[in-house]
Structure 1
Amino acid sequence: MHRRLIAPGALATASLMLAIPASAAGFSPGAPGIGDPYYPAYGNGGYDVSHYDLRLKYQPATDELEGTATLLARTTQDLSRFDLDFLLDVSEVRVNGAKASFTTSGEHELEITPKSPLAKGTSVTVVVRYSGVPSSKQAYGFTSWHRTPDGGVGANEPEAAWWWFPSNDHPLDKATYDVSVLVPDGSQAISNGTLQSTSSRLGWTRYTWRSDKPQATYLATLAVGKFDITTGTTDGGIPVVNAYSKDLGANYGAARASVERTGEIADWLSRYFGPYPFNALGGYVPNTTTGYALETQTRPFYSPRQFANGSNTSVVVHELAHQWYGDLVSVRGWKDIWVNEGFARYAQWLWSEHEGEGTAQELADYVYASHPADDAFWTVKPGDPGPENQFDIAVYDRGALALQALRNEIGDEAFFAVLKGWPQKYAYGNASVADFQRYAEEVSGQPLAALFDTWLFQPSKPGTPAARDASIAKSAQAADASAQPKSWKKIAATNDVHGHGE
């Protein structure tokens, strides 16, 4: 669940895609975008990153960040030059040990020209030394770095990395991470994965974290502040690390009462989605003014606002469901966002069943009945919503409604086989809505093109015949918009995360 301010891809100019003369015969620059039509300038072409090693120093009082990023990559074309996505001030770049020239362009492009051109299939080590004040940087009119009273947080979707490390910023290029952060004694640094070590010297403490499974750049996170940290282990044997800002005030108790159930909820979700796919788990609640939560890999980010009305395990269910649907299997392109958000919302519906507060069928009926045919809700196509509607509520609620329609069409046995098998089929990789349809057809043995078209791709409310065929709003009572399931307010309480909240 995320904020979306604007559609930066719409601002990308055609000039970004123009070919630039090669600096050597047969060699050409990598594209300044990876090819995503929603965000043409996001990510880069010409190489694939396998590992990020980030060695950072952060001063909470001034928001000053110093860093050395080492990227291990392999070229996918003969390269004369390549880009990284980044905003802070760069002092030096080295490619395979030799100094490289660099400049900036566009909103967030760092253009690097190595001393010698790089042949296709070459292993490349890129070292970038940099510094800056992340909160002072904006791109497309917004920032993804959030100042807190005691530090700062990098967390956002579809972009957050630019503010704290140089990257190939698109889910298609996943990598492993080592993040080592030096902070003043008394502050802590939280990131993804497992805490490898801590060490203190001369008033500073270094925290070293490792995320050893492929991870999309927007799922990498960094939070520095003063936290209460709890540890534990799930029934499945996964270590859990949770962190709560010490100054959450009245929201502290509700936040902790919710996030401390992370291990229990992850074990419950594994019944539906298969074994938990990573070796670390947890969540963190910094004292931000943002309104959204985010499925940062192994350690989701939660806004204090999520708990303003009391404990809310439903939002924890949503972000943990993303560990399978979004993190383990990531979108092939940002238009495939339904494969993330529709499923995480549906997990909340399953949790409602588990808690005895309304079945998924009742929630589906309620969503269908609550939006009349002329409601703009139905004009958003969850299967390809467009960048301006990528995080519209329809992607979540209409997206989950589509899953209930699929469940009714193919039956529980096939449906839950699909839910569990899909993350295994595409584990640690990327997939699309079309891939999911093909997989559901393969498992169920049924043609599903018409169902997917009706519920995901038509900009209108499915008519009564289609709804009845999918067993949605199949009775007068179910079609009554006043028949609100008990869990609805808890689920809807997570909806403000779609707002800007800045």
Structure 2
Amino acid sequence: MSRSARLAPTVAPSLRTLTVALSLTLTLGLTACSGTGGVHATSGSAGVGDPYFPKSGNGGYDVTHYDLTPAYTPDTSDTSETRDSATAPTLTASATVTARATTPLSTFDLDFQGMKVNSLTVDGKKASWTRSGQELKVRPSAALRKGRTFRTTVHYSGTPETITDPDGSDEGWRPTADGALALGEPTGSMAWFPGNDHPSDKATYDITITVPKGLQAFSNGELRSETTTGTARATTYSWHTPQPMATYLATVAIGHYDITRTTTRNGLPVYVAVDPQEAAASRKVLARLPEIMEWEEYNFGPYPFSSTGAIVDRGGDAGYALETQNRPFFPGAPDTATLVHELAHQWYGDSVTPKTWRDMWLNEGFATYAEWLWAEDHDGDTAQQTFDALYRGTYFDDKADDDAVWAFPPATPTSAAHISDSPVYERGAMVLHKIRRTVGDARFYDIIQGWAATHRHGNADTADFTAYVEKMAPGKDFTEIWKDWLYGHGKPARP
């Protein structure tokens, strides 16, 4: 995520009517248990106990695949492309998700906020459910045995919600001038599909989107097919994400786009969708995407996914850029630094994903330091000069922004409202620069490339990172860095 873009003022959109069909099927492992014996089961927890979002995620199962098939129909009574005349949207849908029971389950929860559940089955059999806030509690007809898979199908409809984060920014399902946009960090995915909405549970995805003919639909992964039916006057786009992805990184962008499909020099597919209003302003920077990818692979190691690209929508469609997997989202034409930042997240955040939201600096500190390294390699300030300016308090134009760098330790944000604040970004990058100065350039690049390789497509936390650094640089003393820079309160006494 780009902090500067995240903190930009958002435009509160009026809602456009839409219809989307979405049915969610979860394949989790099922073994029947009679009411008189067999499986001794318990209820899966509602929430995984995240320190900042305790209700997010659920216990008792591990999702391995989502198959979502939303169908979008705008309000035919409103042909205007201005959000002032848009009306409230509705959704209906079908989808399939595969996962594994990690404990015997009599009930389990899905994160799902808003909209009406019309029917629900577990492995083809009707199941009962109750709702409370963001929790959809499912009781299958028979207990689920540990280690087996089971399938849950949810049919639902209604008005999808735009969720306001603790920091005041908006996510979830966002109506736009000519379509819709789904953004999920940190908890917005539950607004448009039921699931295990926490970064600790990653899965592969198939997202098949049907839209009226004339609109395009972009999502994560690779486009498997694009089919237009004359009778239905609709086009279906089937996107496949073969590598694991956290729910907050799933996206759908529906609207009118200028679309290009190319490859990098090593054959990596590149999908780029740009709103026509942003095409001219975006052209020059997006032309550098293959160059940036090549530079990041050189510095961070092999690219962890099977395609790359970008989605550029209108500036008012969101107030922040986001590292949606395979193709980051940008509200308006990005500058080069922001493109470098969001693409770096594909290694740090998307492939190596934090275990909890407390570990956000492992996403944002790395992506911010990527900006410093790019500037250093392209005739800008060196990373040392940027570090020194931040320490002296001369980096930002506003003294309040300079002071904010020291508001809290990057490894322990003060609350959910502050996980995207400056210490997570700038001071997180300063921690990495301190490591680089301690071990030297050769060992530093071994560390950051090895970190990305060791935890590729997995989850890690701050303790994992500090242990990895110490293992990779035996004989070096990191006590001051961890104590004063990573976990320490206030400005360290020495730069």
- State if a TM-score over 0.5 links the two structures: yes
1:67 aligns with 2:93: yes
Q: Render the CA deviation track for 1:359-401: whole Å, top value 9, x for unaligned.
A: 1111111111116899343121101113221000121111111
Q: Secondary structure at the match of 1:65?
A: coil
Q: Secondary structure at the match of 1:302?
A: strand
Q: Secondary structure at the match of 1:134?
A: coil
**Greater CA drift, 110-119 or 135-144:** 135-144
Paired amino acid for 2:236: R
Distance 1:256 1:89 in 2: 42
Structure 2 residue aligned with 1:55 = 69
1:356 aligns with 2:370: no
Paired amino acid for 1:226: H
Q: How far did 1:4 drift?
A: 8.3
> In percent, how many aligned pairs have the same letter?
44
Distance 2:74 2:393 in 1: 46
CA contact (8 A) 2:70 2:92 kept: yes
TM-score by length of 2: 0.85
Q: 2:49 aligns with which of 35, 38, 47?
A: 35
Q: How far did 1:450 drift?
A: 2.7
Q: How far did 1:423 drift?
A: 0.6
Q: How many aligned positions are there?
A: 439
Gapped regions of structure 2 (runs ≥ 5): 9-34, 76-86
Q: Secondary structure at the match of 1:32?
A: coil
Q: How far did 1:119 drift?
A: 1.6
Q: Render the CA deviation track for 1:330-357: whole Å, top value 9, x for unaligned.
A: 0011111111000000000011012201
List aligned pairs for 1:204-219, cutoff 5 A: 204-219=234-249
Structure 1 residue aligned with 2:198 = 170
List aligned pairs for 1:359-398, cutoff 5 A: 359-370=382-393, 375-386=403-414, 387-398=416-427
Do the aligned partners of residues 384 and 236 (structure 1) sit closer, same or farther apart at CA in structure 2, a change above 3 Å counting?
A: farther
1:414 aligns with 2:443: yes
Structure 1 residue aligned with 2:145 = 119
Paired amino acid for 1:326: G
1:192 aligns with 2:220: yes
Structure 1 residue aligned with 2:366 = 343
Q: Secondary structure at the match of 1:256?
A: helix
CA contact (8 A) 1:96 1:125 kept: yes
Q: 1:92 aligns with which of 94, 119, 131?
A: 119
Structure 2 residue aligned with 1:432 = 461
Distance 2:119 2:161 in 1: 22
Distance 2:297 2:165 in 1: 38
CA contact (8 A) 2:70 2:93 kept: yes
Distance 2:293 2:163 in 1: 36
Structure 2 residue aligned with 1:443 = 472
Do the aligned partners of residues 137 and 375 (structure 1) sit closer, same or farther apart at CA in structure 2, a change above 3 Å counting?
A: closer
TM-score by length of 1: 0.84
CA contact (8 A) 1:267 1:276 kept: no
1:405 aligns with 2:434: yes
List aligned pairs for 1:91-490, cutoff 5 A: 91-106=118-133, 108-135=134-161, 143-201=171-229, 202=231, 203-246=233-276, 248=277, 251-287=278-314, 288-304=316-332, 307=333, 312-370=335-393, 375-386=403-414, 387-445=416-474, 446-464=476-494, 467=495
Paired amino acid for 1:384: T
Distance 2:265 2:473 in 1: 32
Q: How far did 1:74 drift?
A: 0.9
Measured on the aligned residues, the alpha-carbon RMSD in Å equals 2.1
